[in-house]
């Protein structure tokens, strides 16, 4: 039997109450999928060589470049692949693995409703926002801007849900 005035156990990752809860739930699952993809990408970067990446880039762009030798995207892909070295692959792998694994752990712990994970998710995401903002300032990238905006949304929704969670715990 429920005590009067007691707030029922509630985990927004399981049963969203309103639009904010739904957005929080969707963003958590998006972050989890992103973390899994980053982890897989990091593992892939540890396995493949710069020569294999160059070969793949040439294969992916040869059809487009045969139609338009000045295609911006195809040329950008080739240029980026050509500049990859073993050291940059290791850095990229380490970055993706660290970013991906931290996201996976924190999102799972938020879904499991561990209060410390909310703070961890906010803090880690804020650190990545700072780094991403630095990268945008050095060399603008639409994809980096979109990622940063998504991370800012995650921070907002997580802090809002953290406060609701604290209020629920104090009331209970």
- pLDDT at residue number 143: 85
- pLDDT at residue number 4: 43
Residue 10 has pLDDT above 80, yes or no: no
- The residue whose two tokens read 């692959």 is 89
Residue 7 has pLDDT above 60, yes or no: no
- The residue whose two tokens read 């993706």 is 96
- pLDDT at residue number 3: 46
**Tens-place pLDDT, residues 74-103:** 888 888 888 877 888 888 899 899 989 999
Residue 5 has pLDDT above 60, yes or no: no
Compute CA distances 72 → 53, 61, 76, 99, whole Å.
19, 11, 6, 29
Span 125-153, average pLDDT: 92
- pLDDT at residue number 77: 86
What's the per-residue H, E or C state across 85-112?
Answer: CHHHHHHHHHHHHHHHHHHHHHHHHHHC
The gap between the terminal CA atoms of the chain, to the nearest Å, is: 14
Token pair recorded at residue 47: 């396995």
- Between 7 and 156, the higher pLDDT residue: 156
What gap in Å lies between CA 23 and CA 95, rounded to an integer? Answer: 27
Residue 60 has pLDDT above 80, yes or no: yes
**Tens-place pLDDT, residues 26-36:** 989 998 999 99
Q: Are the C-beta atoms of residues 81 and 49 closer than 8 Å to each other?
A: no
Q: What is the pTM of this model?
A: 0.70
Residue 8 has pLDDT above 50, yes or no: no
What gap in Å lies between CA 46 and CA 33, rounded to an integer? Answer: 20
What gap in Å lies between CA 80 and CA 150, rounded to an integer? Answer: 25
- The residue whose two tokens read 């693995």 is 97
Token pair recorded at residue 79: 């240029």
**pLDDT more than 90, % of the chain:** 40
Contacts (Cβ under 8 Å, ≥6 apart) of 168:
7, 10
Q: Which band of pLDDT confidence, cut at 50, 70 and 90, is reported for residue 2?
A: very low
């Amino acid at each position: 039997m429920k005590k009067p005035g007691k707030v029922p156990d509630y985990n927004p990752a399981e049963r969203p109450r309103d639009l904010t809860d739904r957005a929080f739930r969707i963003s958590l699952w998006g972050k989890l999928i992103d973390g899994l993809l980053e982890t897989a990408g990091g593992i892939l970067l540890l396995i493949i060589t710069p020569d294999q990446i160059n070969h793949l880039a040439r294969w992916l762009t040869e059809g487009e470049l045969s139609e338009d030798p000045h295609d911006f995207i195809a040329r950008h892909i080739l240029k980026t692949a050509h500049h990859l070295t073993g050291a940059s692959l290791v850095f990229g792998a380490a970055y993706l693995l660290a970013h991906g694994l931290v996201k996976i752990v924190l999102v799972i712990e938020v879904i499991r409703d561990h209060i410390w994970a909310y703070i961890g998710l906010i803090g880690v995401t804020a650190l990545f926002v700072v780094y991403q903002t630095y990268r945008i300032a050095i060399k603008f990238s639409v994809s980096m801007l979109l990622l940063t905006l998504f991370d800012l949304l995650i921070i907002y929704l997580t802090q809002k849900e953290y406060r609701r969670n604290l209020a629920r715990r104090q009331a209970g």
